[in-house]
A = this chain, B = another copy of it.
Amino acid sequence: MVLRRLARPELRIVADQLRAELIRIGSEVGGHFAGSLGTVELTVALHYLLDTPHDRLVWDVGHQAYGHKALTGRLAGLMKVKKADGPSGFLRREESPYDAFGAGHAGTSVSAALGMVEAARRSDSGARVVAIIGDGAATSGMSFEALNHAGELGCDLRVVFNDNGMSIAPNVGGLSRTKRARGYFEALGLTYIGPIDGHDLDQLLPGVEALLASPGPTVLHVRTQKGHGFAPAVADPYKWHATQPFECSTGRPRSAGEAGTAKASGSGGAPSWTSAFADALIRVAERDPRVVAITAAMPDGTGIDKFAKRFPDRTYDVGIAEQHAVTFAAGLAAEGLRPVCAIYSTFLQRAFDQVVHDVALQKLPVTFALDRGGLVGADGPTHHGVLDFAYLRIIPNLIVSAPRDENDLEGLLAAAVASGRPFALRFPRGAATGVSILSEPKALAIGRGEVLRRGGDVALLGIGRTVGVAQRTAELLAERGVRASVIDARYVKPLDAELICATARGTGHVVTIEDHAGFGGFGSAVLELIAREVPRTAVRIHALPDRFTDHGEVTAQYRAAGIDPESVAADTLTWLRSLHPTPLSRPRAGEEQEGPRVT
């Protein structure tokens, strides 16, 4: 690495250039922004003093690693960051040998690094391993587990504690008072060095040298400023955590979007699902004083910031601590409250056991509002919410649902809070439908779907976002003479068995469509029902293939997976023909005739 041939005084120039490049790139393409500006000097110092990639740098999450990407041969690539043909916004082993361990969710770096330290010890590779963890990610339980184990092992784990006082939002917890950091790390058996100024290379270089020279598990406490070197981001690092393209000189947005923000907002006037959820939750909470809201360090992303403005004393931000969020909610619910946990689908995976053990087993009335269900596009495989139907519907006592529009969202939320039961509802990233909002929430009985279109040849079952896909598919099929019923299943669990079985009997052919993995999800639930109740009915599942989906553009990704009206319609025609081969023997011209050819 050329960097290592420079003299120390030259590193200031490198850092300044790197920061200027990051600002330029951020201004042109957006992306995670403020975090990486805060780690410029740290990144330079670490790569200067370590022999990467032989030595291992393990970044946490990846929000702060754009500088690392730039220094390790991916500067040009950053102009396409998070695009299908560009690098990931996070860390990926496939992307570069300098990405020693992939990331995306918070708090994994110390565990992974500890494993690598042990592996290096066993192989005598001499590789040094440094984990860089933010004070936000350090609120996650697994980072504590790893530090505690490191204290026990006593091996040469090196940790940089990147303390900027923020997770995405301002940081949470007793630990976030930096004067307490020494006590925390020393209590777990680590040697503590610091705090030092993370923008002063004259402190950083000796600090990192001391870290590398220290025997046994050691932490270097580095104070950094999120957004450092770009005044608008320093002034509002929360808003600038991620950004749309902006004018460098002013920080003003280049497009019509909101300044310095990358919120998933709706296009063409439709609100985002997040915003619709926030509004619905506020209305539900206005009617029911038992409702309180919980976020795990994502007040902005989940819309809980809006709720908090209306009900500051009914809002909890627990930090990056999904496990605690869920069991804390269970404790509230056990005493008569109706907590709503707003957690991204992918992050609720962290609390799977707590949903089972603390909420569902005790039948406590906690509502889980899962934003970012389905594919999320640019954030890629660590952030897609495509396992939730499957991992939630296997849990006894838990209701699992998905709204097709904003009114159903409020109706489900109201039903959830009123039900007195564990209840999950899940909605996508991005723009909702833009329907007119009803003054009262819809009364949506638990386990009841809705027939949106009647047709005797085939039944199309959608859930949440794919109800729209089913409707459009039915129109396309109608053009080919196939009459399709369309059902909004609304509940993955309990399924509307009566409606689905009646439709299965009526049509003989059931097609399910979901923005979810193909194993164990909605389609699988329908299969189980039909195998039991209407055996030998033909069922066809449209869902995502059994592999992780990269970052990219959502619409294109669904099309590639065949979860778009054109693909489903074409597949349905082929499938129906394969089940009824006789009509296929007719001349091809016959395919253009009006009227059903199936049943």
> Which residues of chain A have a CB within 8 Å of any CB of chain B?
58, 93, 100-102, 104-105, 108, 111-116, 118-120, 122-123, 125, 139-152, 172-177, 180-184, 186-190, 316, 318-319, 321, 323-324, 326-337, 339, 347, 349-350, 352-354, 356-358, 360-362, 381-382, 387, 390-391, 393-397, 493, 517-521, 523-525, 527-528, 531-532, 535-541, 546-548, 579
Q: In the complex, which of the residues B141, B151, B521, B547 contacts A173, with contact meaning CB atoms closer than 8 Å?
A: B151
Cβ-defined contact, B356 with A112, below 8 A: no
Q: In the complex, which of the residues B122, B326, B327, B520 contacts A520, with contact meaning CB atoms closer than 8 Å?
A: B520
Which residue of chain B has its CB nearest to the CB of A356? B349
Cβ-defined contact, A357 with B361, below 8 A: no
A390 surroundings in chain B (CB, below 8 A): 390-391, 394, 520
Give Cα distance in the complex from A523 to B528, angstroms: 9
Say whether, besides A115-B334, A188-B173, A188-B175, A387 and B145 are in contact (CB < 8 Å). no
A175: shortest Cβ distance to chain B, in Å? 5
| Chain A to chain B contacts (Cβ below 8 Å), 14 pairs | A111-B326, A119-B335, A122-B337, A125-B335, A149-B321, A151-B174, A152-B173, A180-B188, A360-B548, A361-B381, A390-B390, A394-B517, A394-B520, A532-B541
Given A174-B187, A531-B540; 5 other pairs, CB 8 A cutoff? A102-B358, A118-B332, A149-B321, A393-B519, A394-B520
A344: shortest Cβ distance to chain B, in Å? 12
Cβ-defined contact, A332 with B115, below 8 A: yes
Cβ-defined contact, A518 with B527, below 8 A: no
Cβ-defined contact, A115 with B519, below 8 A: no
Cβ-defined contact, A144 with B146, below 8 A: no
Q: How many copies does the complex hold?
A: 2
Cβ-defined contact, A520 with B524, below 8 A: yes
A108 surroundings in chain B (CB, below 8 A): 327, 354, 357-358
Cβ-defined contact, A539 with B531, below 8 A: yes
Which residue of chain B has its CB nearest to the CB of A186? B183
Cβ-defined contact, A327 with B175, below 8 A: no
Cβ-defined contact, B173 with A149, below 8 A: yes
Q: In the complex, which of the residues B150, B186, B518, B547 contacts A528, with contact meaning CB atoms closer than 8 Å?
A: B518
Say whether, besides A115-B334, A123-B335, A528-B519, A546 and B396 are in contact (CB < 8 Å). yes
Cβ-defined contact, A174 with B188, below 8 A: yes
A219: shortest Cβ distance to chain B, in Å? 12
Which residue of chain B has its CB nearest to the CB of A321? B145
Which residue of chain B has its CB nearest to the CB of A149? B318
Give Cα distance in the complex from A152 to B175, angstroms: 8
Say whether, besides A118-B332, A148-B139, A187-B174, A547 and B396 are in contact (CB < 8 Å). yes
Cβ-defined contact, B119 with A362, below 8 A: no
A142 surroundings in chain B (CB, below 8 A): 141, 321, 323-324, 327, 354
Say whether, besides A93-B362, A387-B395, A525-B519, A116 and B331 are in contact (CB < 8 Å). yes
Max count, chain B CB within 10 A of own CB: residue among A174, A331, A395, A548: A331
A428: shortest Cβ distance to chain B, in Å? 19
